[in-house]
Structure 1
Amino acid sequence: MNHSRREFLKKSTLISAGLATAPLAVKSLNVDLVQNALPYWRGFNLLDFFSPEMEKGRKNPPEFLTWMADWGFNFVRIPISYPSYLNFDRSKPILASDVMNFDEGKIEQIDQLVNLAHKNGLHVSLNLHRAPGFCINAGFIEPYNLWKDQEALDAFCAHWEMWSKRYKNINSDKLSFDLVNEPFMREDPNDQHSPGGPVPVEDYYRVAKAALNTIKSISPERLVIANGNGGGGIAVPELADLDLGQSCRGYHPMSISHHKASWVYKEPDLLPDPIWPGEFNGRYHGREMIEQYYAPWVELLQKGVGVHCGECGAYNKTPHAVFLRWFEDVLDFLNEKRIGFGIWEFSGAFGILNSGRTDVDYEDWYGQKLDRKYLNLLMKYA
């Protein structure tokens, strides 16, 4: 990443010098000179270890990864709930004394998915979706707060130390680390409905730097990514001096991406169906809204910080035609900036397989229900 950033700055300087002496007609050309320091990864999140109980994960059989590769995708993100690979009494809330009880047998199951992805030529982004002391989807009791407690930070770094040592010999072209999913600060960190907002930047910086230093001390060349603040959507220029890429989200506006999602809205069934493009809730919803939303992320690119969209897509209650029109605008904008994407799940309510949408004519694909229109859209950018 440091090397990439140096090359970016060098090239930018040379280009600027050239433009300064160029004819006015050349300087007036609308040319996007920004390059993304991260690869153009496109693919899916795999939720095999998303549940704190490993056996309850949404397992993806081997053929799913083969299909991804055959369809032209090159990336999988694996969000992991850290209790899924620990050995402790699951009838009780996890204790501080439990968080280092690594279960080798469970970790080997994660190894198997990583190896399978690599056999299919897919880059793997390993993410702690629930980390010691924090998860955006609270609803459990953590023994401490990642953003405030040193003991939690020590445990967080210890987990990344374990993963770094385990995968030390895997090239960064094949494996990157995604530190912690969607940082957020709640008044009650154990209640997912508790009000809150972005993590104070000084706390996020301290946590990210400590974990980064832990990883780099073992694997100096490892690509490491930090999620946007405030639940993933807020770019963090304050982290730009660290050797980190940043991960945005493709969920804007949430009135489309999370339409009638029960974990977001208290009375989801009362919501009117969204419109795209057009007037909705007193505002015009269209391509300009997307461009405005991602402007801070483009500024990161201009600073030489690599950007990837780690999660995106829409819940199955969004009218399909509206979803496809909106998402094509999102993907087209990301593609213009060479920002890759990870759809939130391959098979399931956000996926291209078995989404449970009621307004889709599914194609039978080896016994799976394939949303061919959605796949065709994604393959335009794969």
Structure 2
Amino acid sequence: MNNPDSLQRRDFLKKSSLAAAGALLAANAPFDLSAFPASQNKLPQWKGFNLLDFFSPNPANGREGTKEEYFKWMADWGFDFVRIPMAYPSYLKFDRSRNILPEEVRNIDTEATDKIEELVYLAHKYKLHVSLNLHRGPGYCVNAGFHEPYNLWTDQQALDDFCFHWNFWATRFKNVSKKKISFDLLNEPSNREDMNDQHSKRGPVPGDVYRKMAIAASEAIKSVNKKHLIIADGNNTGSTVIPEIADLDIAQSCRGYTPGIVSHYKAPWAMKDIDNLPEVKWPGQVGDQFLSREMLEKFYEPWIALKNQGVGVHCGECGCFNKTPHDVLLAWFGDVLDILHTNQIGFALWEFKGSFGILNSGREDVGYEDWYGLKLDRKLLNLLTKNV
């Protein structure tokens, strides 16, 4: 039998170690990874895809739904994970001819949520773990396209409504094992001057504000089932570790988009003057910076240190827009995936079918393979399954 005093001391030492790591992260101090001995990732090394069935705030503008055979293909290829980024307005009832009102944010449309539930259980049929994510939560989204009635970071009503939604989903899947489902709180949090202007100045969410949100939402989820698994996306649009929550029972999710000039080359929503960008290459000089594996290793150092300190880490999104030359994509993404794999960190490609995906990506420099009437990028699939 364990000595209670010994357990308390062990817990104290663990939290102190996390606090020390957090102090380094917060100060952007240089990393000596030898100070954080390698350890097993607390999260499984899941590998899979994002599914965008409920990504649009307006279901009338949604994509073709995921078909059952897609899950079969994923499982047959060795994948075990899907992330479902949801826009909360997609499953509400309100007058879509005008901006939503705060009092309408809890108007759940059960027919819509039933469809989400069906997708989750269909994935489970093929033994895929499902991570439910609020890509748009009440009062915040990294994307434009919908006018929020308040600000999640400053308005208590927004936070209360955000927690209401997570309590709803936690209740829907109350008796589902954490081996099958997890709850990814909010996609790519950031702070910007105008919550409804995607192009206004951005920055990281203040650490104490992020912590307040994470604690409130996790309490709303764990009040239903204390064993539910919770994940928080990195701060500053998913790019940076959140040291302020490292002591909580919450895993963290990084991104595989660095550098953006490669992953979002000529993406009109992410870059200006896309017709005058420098030639992209990997590795090599692109504009005023030299792109290399070393820059990736530096980017992931804080995430590796976090994982080594006992916080679960997963890469919830990664991939490359279809305007990046295919050979550059394969060279760059091979380095990203190798760094993640070497450090036991799983990934989810954005997306399965579409401009970032392995099916029907619309790339003009790929010799596609016909796959049941769809266009399969076999080279990208082979890269993804290299370590599956």
- Conserved 8 A contact 1:198-1:230: yes
What is the aligned partner in structure 1 of residue 23 from structure 2? none
Alignment of 1:87-236 (within 5 A): 87-236=93-242
TM-fit CA distance, 1:303: 1.8
- Cα drift, residue 279 of structure 1: 2.1
CA distance in 1, matches of 2:285, 2:234: 28
Q: CA–CA distance in 1 between the matches of 2:120 and 2:38?
A: 35
Residue 306 of structure 1: CA displacement? 0.6
5 Å-filtered alignment, 1:1-382, equals: 33-58=38-63, 59-382=65-388
Q: Deviations over 1:214-262 (max 9, x none)?
A: 1111111111000001100011111101110000000000000000010
Deviations 1:51-91 (A, max 9, x none): 01224322221111110111000000000000000000011
Alpha-carbon distance change, 74 to 173 in structure 1, aligned in 2, over 3 angstroms? same
More deviation, 62-71/32-41: 32-41
Gaps of 5+ in 2: 1-9, 18-33
Partners in 2 of 1:302 and 1:32 — Cα distance? Answer: 6
Deviations, residues 284-334 of structure 1 (Å, cap 9, x unaligned): 211111100011111211221110000000000000000100000000000
- The more displaced of 268-277 and 181-190 is 268-277
Extract structure 1 runs of 4+ deviating beyond 3 A: none
Over the matched positions of the two proteins, sequence identity in percent amounts to 59
Give unpaired runs (5+ residues) of structure 1. Answer: 13-28
Retained in 2: the 8 A contact 1:140–1:191?
no
Could you tell me which residue of structure 2 aligns to residue 25 of structure 1?
A: none
Q: So what's the TM-score if we normalise by structure 1?
A: 0.91
How many angstroms apart in 2 are the aligned matches of 1:331 and 1:91?
43
CA contact 2:278–2:286 (8 Å) conserved in 1: no
Q: When the two structures are aligned, how many residues end up with a matched partner?
A: 360
Please tell me the residue identity of whatever aligns with 1:105.
E
Root mean square deviation of aligned Cα = 1.9
Give the Cα–Cα distance (whole angstroms) in 2 for the partners of residues 45 and 127 of structure 1: 10
Answer yes or no: is the 8 Å Cα contact 1:240–1:303 preserved in 2. Answer: no
61-70 or 317-326, which deviates more: 61-70
Conserved in 2, the CA contact under 8 Å of 1:313 and 1:343? yes
Range 38-47 or range 192-201, more displaced? 192-201
Secondary structure in 2 matching 1:218: coil
Structure 1: which amino acid aligns with 2:124?
A: H
Give the corresponding residue for 2:31. Answer: none
- Cα distance, 1:270 vs structure 2: 1.4
CA contact (8 A) 2:279 2:286 kept: no
Query: How far apart, in 2, do the equivalents of 1:57 and 1:107 lie?
Result: 15
Structure 1 residue 272: Cα displacement: 1.9
8 Å CA contact 1:250–1:309 kept in 2: the answer is yes
Structure 1 pair 354–338 and aligned structure 2 pair: CA distance change class (3 A): same
**Counterpart Cα distance in 2 of 1:302 and 1:374:** 29
**Which one-letter code corresponds to 2:145 in the other structure?**
G
CA distance in 2, matches of 1:72, 1:242: 32
